[in-house]
Amino acid sequence: MRRAFAAIIVRDIRLALRAGSDALTLVLFFVMIGIVVPFAIGPDRVLLAQLAPAIVWIAAFLASLIGIDRVFRDDFEDGTLMLLRHGTLPMELVVLAKLIVHWLLTAFPLILATPVLAVLLAMDPGALWRTVISLILGTPGLAALGAIGAGITVSLRRGGLVAPVLVLPFAIPILIFGVGAIASGIGPDLTGSARLLLAAISLMLVAIAPFAAALAVRAGED
Amino acid sequence: MTLRQDLRRLSLCATGLSGARGERILFANLDLKAEAGTALLLRGANGAGKTTLLLMLYGAIRPLAGQIVWSGQDPEGPPFIHLFGHRAAVRARLAVLETLNFWRDANGGTKDCVEALERVGLGGLGSLDAGYLSAGQTRRLSLARLLVAPRPVWLLDEPTAALDPDGDRLVGELMAEHLAAGGLIIAATHLPLAFVGTSSEIRLDG
Amino acid sequence: MSHSQDRPGFWTRLSNPGQFLIWSRPLVVPLVVVTAAVFLVGLWFALVNSPEDYQMGDTVRIMYIHVPTAWLSQFVYAVMAVSAIGTLVWRHPMADVSMKAAAPLGATFTALALYTGSLWGRPTWGTFWEWDGRMTSTLVLLLIYLGIIALWRAFEDPLRGARMVAILTLVGAINIPIVKFSVDWWATLHQPASVLRADGPTMPGSILTPLLIMFGAFTLLFIVLHLVGMRTEVRRRRIASLERRLAQRGA
């Protein structure tokens, strides 16, 4: 079981790294949003620093929506998922392995690139630290929602467009608490409770996603 | 101590199977029986429902009606069915040996991958990107998947498609070996298969 | 592992689509009549026989449409979630049909709730849209409904589509309370004083009676529309299947 789990993770990471620069493109997209926004709202450092958490989260939000379609699509089309039905792993664990890879490839690089955005958006070190923490806590939830959306649309040839639309409303709490865990505006400091709520939502979604997506993937072949 | 799944002798008994594609009934009230050590050949024209029936036996498609019962397997044990179908599950940018290693690990096999590649005639191509294989070579690689993780039941869908005469012979040999070892084969084909062993036929007529 | 399947079960026969068309047929007209009657009574109460609000004046009457539609926007989702369980667990064809017929109704009631809310907001808050917690979560609910409808339309095969929609609906059922909670949290964070407070149980009877009647009227309206929608969907599927069979015979 453990060997099969590791085999899926290693294979998917190999495929993704060799298939060129998907992860790199995402990072580029993520950083570019940080570069483009100041052109839209002006180079006011105070204003930028104030908006920085929101900008970073929106960038991460969009970047994670872009990568959804890759989670199951290729494996579905070339028959890999069909054969994995009778692998040693239950489909739920296959999905969990793919979820982990999805997070490693789409969310982890963004977290590494956050300091670049922090410099560009005039964040102070404290805000950067809070941003990184909130991304680490929130992105697994986004990845889990992405996996559910990908599973539901896997048998649709043009699922790439539908999946983000399905997933987006459900991701709103992550956005709310994600930004809430960074910003310390006027009023009582709620970043601590936001951080806990964010972690709770992420954990719950990661717990649900393997079952929901495995159900969808199995139904997709029938 | 219970017998390992891959050494068990399984038999299939399916009764009253009905299958459809969309609205069209492909077959109705079909009875299938197959014993360990024998092959069951599904014959029929294109579109007669051979692939649908195989996927039903595989458990991927629900029959409209009827029951599929495998007996002799260890219900607690690992999966016991291999499917060898049109989609090879071979991906470009993964080397041939890496592909086979992956399938061995995912299917819980323990056999040597290099040996299996030799057996299917891909010896020496282990480090080649699987995307560069020809259609026939891809089929051979997919065939090696059945060898590295032995399982008692093989479901073969047009096993000789895209293979050269040499490849046909290879499929025949592997099937004969599998039957001799007490395996069970259900193969959908419209071509004659050359293998040594007892077999029965069932004809699907759309 | 032995996978054995037996169907169709008792359940399926009890309410198979053909049977459904037969037993639901005599229900439609009486239900329409009852719904119309309750609406007449409710509207008379709401428009004529209820007091103006001492602050909001006649605009308070929007409430008699707004609150019932807001309630239905959530009730319809609950109906869909229950049907989704029927689809996934029993693979019941009528559960598929029920989900499919409910989605546009839910979207419409949600849109009505938003529309009336915004009409009400203009004289009350001085703006058509306020990012108030309740309005915002209703808006998110509308997005979810629209996503479900989009997913229905994306599938050519209604059987597979039904199972995917059912999974999404159930994931949504788990998520909607979280969305609601998070939006409330967010709204209070950004505007400490709530703009609008419904007085709930302390409402005087003169307002409560018409409101309850309108609740009943709108719920009946949903039941009628859902029933008719399900009948239409069953017949639509029959026609599609007849057409396909005809095409095959011709070919």
How many angstroms separate the CA atoms of B179 and B200, rounded? 13
Residue B10 pLDDT > 50: yes
Closest chain A residue to B56, measured at CA: A222
Q: At what angle do helices A125-152 and A91-106 cross, to 10 degrees?
A: 140
Structural domain of A90: 2-221
How many angstroms separate the CA atoms of A41 and C229, rounded? 49
| Contact status, residue A34 vs residue A121, Cβ threshold 8 Å | yes
Instruction: Assess A104–C contact: CB distance below 8 Å, yes or no.
Output: no
Residue C189 pLDDT > 80: no
Instruction: Assess A163–C contact: CB distance below 8 Å, yes or no.
Output: no
The arithmetic mean of pLDDT across residues C25-46, rounded, is: 92
Instruction: Assess C157–B contact: CB distance below 8 Å, yes or no.
Output: yes
| pLDDT value at residue C108 | 97
Percent of chain A with pLDDT over 70: 95
Question: A65 to each of A26, A112, A131, A200, B27, how far by Cα in Å?
Answer: 10, 18, 19, 21, 43
Give the tens place of pLDDT for each residue, C96-108: 999 999 999 999 9
Tell me how many domains chain A contains.
1
Residue C52 pLDDT > 80: no
The lowest-confidence range among A216-220, B55-59, C22-26 is C22-26
Phi/psi of residue B153, each to 5°? -110, 130
The arithmetic mean of pLDDT across residues A114-125, rounded, is: 90
Chain C contact partners (≥3 CB pairs within 8 A): A, B
The arithmetic mean of pLDDT across residues B34-58, rounded, is: 90
Give the tens place of pLDDT for each residue, C228-237: 999 999 999 8
For residue C193, the chain A residues in CB contact (below 8 A) are: none
| pLDDT value at residue A20 | 66
Instruction: Assess A208–C contact: CB distance below 8 Å, yes or no.
Output: yes
| pLDDT value at residue B19 | 86
Q: Give a three-class secondary structure readout of chain B.
A: CCCCHHHCCCEEEEEEEEEEECCEEEEEEEEEEECCCCEEEEECCCCCCHHHHHHHHHCCCCCCEEEEEEECCCCCCCCCEEEECCCCCCCCCCEHHHHHHHHHHHCCCCCCHHHHHHHCCCCCCCCCEHHHCCHHHHHHHHHHHHHHCCCCEEEEECCCCCCCHHHHHHHHHHHHHHHHCCCEEEEECCCCCCCCCCEEEEECCC
Give the tens place of pLDDT for each residue, B99-137: 999 999 999 988 999 999 999 999 889 999 999 999 999
Domains defined along chain B, listed by start: 10-80+151-206 (3.40.50.300), 87-150 (no CATH)
- B94, A79: Cβ pair inside 8 Å? no
Share the mean pLDDT of chain B. Answer: 89
| pLDDT value at residue B119 | 93
The arithmetic mean of pLDDT across residues A132-138, rounded, is: 95
Of B55, B62, B87, the CB nearest to A78: B87
| Contact status, residue C112 vs residue C69, Cβ threshold 8 Å | yes
| pLDDT value at residue A16 | 87
| pLDDT value at residue A184 | 59
For residue A7, the chain B residues in CB contact (below 8 A) are: 101-102, 105-106
Give the tens place of pLDDT for each residue, A64-109: 888 888 889 889 989 999 999 999 999 999 999 999 999 998 899 9
Instruction: Assess C247–B contact: CB distance below 8 Å, yes or no.
Output: no
Tell me whether residue C3 is exposed, middle or buried, using C-beta atoms within 10 angstroms of its C-beta: 0 to 12, 13 to 18, 19 or more.
middle
Question: C112 to each of C70, C77, C103, C116, C137, how far by Cα in Å?
Answer: 8, 15, 14, 6, 14
Instruction: Assess A221–B contact: CB distance below 8 Å, yes or no.
Output: yes
- A11, B90: Cβ pair inside 8 Å? no
How many angstroms separate the CA atoms of B53 and B61, rounded? 8
- C151, A216: Cβ pair inside 8 Å? no
| Contact status, residue C223 vs residue C74, Cβ threshold 8 Å | no
From chain C residues 26-85, the ones with a CB under 8 A of any chain A CB are none
Of B24, B66, B69, the CB nearest to C2: B69
Residue type, B11: S
How many angstroms separate the CA atoms of B21 and B17, rounded? 14
| pLDDT value at residue A101 | 93
| pLDDT value at residue B25 | 82
Structure tokens given for A100: 């982990």
Give the tens place of pLDDT for each residue, A165-196: 899 999 999 999 999 888 755 556 677 889 99
Give the tens place of pLDDT for each residue, C209-251: 888 999 999 999 999 999 999 999 999 988 888 888 888 777 5
Residue B198 pLDDT > 90: no
Chain A contact partners (≥3 CB pairs within 8 A): B, C
For residue A166, the chain C residues in CB contact (below 8 A) are: 147-148, 150-151, 168
